[in-house]
Amino acid sequence: PNSVAEGLQIIISANVTDPDGVFSVTADVQRVIDEVNVLPKVILIGAGSTYTGEWFGSEGSYYVDIEACDTKNNCSILNNIPPVY
């Protein structure tokens, strides 16, 4: 898990490409102590192959999963992405 300070802006970024075209990229932020994830998905906006979004959280530890779907609705998920500072 990755620790976040109260109210800190977190930039989530992913490099995504697909020969059929990228339809959507989202980040699922999950608080470690929660049994059920109730946080909304973060929609990442693309510029070229880089997709970026921002999230503001309360203090705690979180996991981040990235889901990317192509224009044929084939989706791929990377779980528990490590942070890059």
Q: Give the pLDDT score at 60.
A: 79
Contact 77, 25 (CB under 8 A): no
pLDDT tens for the chain, 85 residues: list them: 567 777 778 889 999 999 999 999 999 988 877 666 667 899 999 989 999 999 887 777 888 899 999 999 999 999 988 776 5
- 42: amino acid identity, one letter: V
SS3 14: strand
Compute the distance between CA of residue 57 and CA of residue 30 in angstroms, rounded to an integer. 11
- Note the pTM of the prediction, 2 decimals: 0.83
Q: Quote the CA–CA distance of 14 and 9 in Å, as a whole number.
A: 17
**Distance (Å, rounded) from C-alpha 43 to C-alpha 55?**
10
Here the tokens at position 32 are 């470690």
Amino acid 37: pLDDT: 64
